[in-house]
Amino acid sequence: MTEQEERDDAAQALATEIRRIGGRLKRRLREISGVGDMPGSQIAVLLHLESEGQATISDLARAEGMRPQSMGAIIAALEAAGHVQGRPDPADGRRTLLSLTERCAAWMQAGRIARQDMLAGAIAARLSPEEQTQLGAALPLLARLVE
Amino acid sequence: MTEQEERDDAAQALATEIRRIGGRLKRRLREISGVGDMPGSQIAVLLHLESEGQATISDLARAEGMRPQSMGAIIAALEAAGHVQGRPDPADGRRTLLSLTERCAAWMQAGRIARQDMLAGAIAARLSPEEQTQLGAALPLLARLVE
DNA sequence: CTAATATCAGGACAACTGATATAT
DNA sequence: CATATATCAGTTTTCCTGATATTA
């Protein structure tokens, strides 16, 4: 076996494992990544808005790697639930600036998301601090594969 | 901030990153994990059958972490395409033992999957050998979160 | 005029749940 | 009778593509 073939085999083995775990991840992330009834996609948006203050639908779509139409549906659900609100951008009439409602911001600051975050709970319960560090370092590598 | 709170914060930050990358992964894995027209879920089954020889639908469903009904649909597609074949288990009338067809086994041995595997290609192209090792070591940690 | 934002409408996909027939 | 395998049928979720109005 040539060195090139060995490298290909290594990549192939890794691909197989990613497929297997990725498949599971895809299915389970829906259940474990939510907070109560709220899906992980909505949580991600709230956390983004909490740290950034405000953003447009297109901003959020880019940040999460999806289409504006898809993000629009997520935002519509969050608006209907009274968690985010939009106001027109005074500087650009095309844009709608989204931000957390006061009630939602207070709810998040009270740490209720953190305490109910099943994914964070699973991480804390099942991974040692060292393992968490190891996983955190590897995530950007995974991100590079899907960008 | 107590040590406990610091640990919780670390887990929360990791959870946020997994949500973001996991979301992307979920969406992009469909495109990049396939081999040509074949979806990643089918590839995973073929690789499993290649290494194990034969298996039932329920075996495969358990291995991939999904329901037998869902695996049934994947198998039906592979059978229709002539890639796998089933025969009744002589020892247990409930079971159907699935295996690769000769033609599919030959196709896989010829390395055509490996050369057309976009995910393996992305890994080889975008990650150094060291990074591949690092990612490989972290995948079991991710698996532990979703089991 | 071209590009970006947002939204409407319809569609595809991959998993799910529930129910059923058969065999152990 | 309780359990396991396989399959039929219908539903849900999530994101997709295409088309359109508006504004920069």
Strand C contacted by B42 CB (< 7 A):
no
Residue B131 confidence (pLDDT) = 96
What is the spatial distance, in angstroms and rounded to an integer, between the CA atom of B32 and the C1' atom of D16?
16
Q: What value does the mean pLDDT of chain B take?
A: 90
What is the spatial distance, in angstroms and rounded to an integer, between the CA atom of B68 and the C1' atom of C17?
12
Please determine, for residue A12, whether its predicted confidence score (pLDDT) is greater than 80: yes
**What percent of chain B has pLDDT above 90?**
56
Residue B147 confidence (pLDDT) = 78
β-pairing verdict for A96-100 and A84-88: antiparallel
The alpha carbon of residue A19 and the mean position of all alpha carbons in its chain are separated, in whole angstroms, by: 20
pTM: 0.87
pLDDT in tens, A79-92: 999 999 999 999 99
Residue B113 confidence (pLDDT) = 76
Stretch (H or E) spanning A96: strand A96-100
Higher pLDDT, A65 or B132: B132
Please determine, for residue A112, whether its predicted confidence score (pLDDT) is greater than 80: no
Residue A96 confidence (pLDDT) = 97
Distance from CA of B45 to the nearest CA of A (A): 10
CB of B61 within 8 A of CB of B67? Answer: yes
CA separation for the pair A119, A35 (Å, rounded): 8
List protein-proximal bases of chain D (any atom < 7 A from a CB): 4-9, 13-19, 22-24
Q: What is the mean pLDDT of residues A49-63?
A: 95
**What percent of chain A has pLDDT above 90?**
59
pLDDT in tens, B72-117: 999 999 999 999 999 999 999 999 999 999 999 999 988 777 777 8
Written as one string, the DSSP assignment of B38-88 is B-HHHHHHHHHHHHHSEE-HHHHHHHHTS-HHHHHHHHHHHHHTTSEEEEE
Q: Using CB atoms, pick whichever of A24, A119, A126 lies closest to residue B15.
A: A119
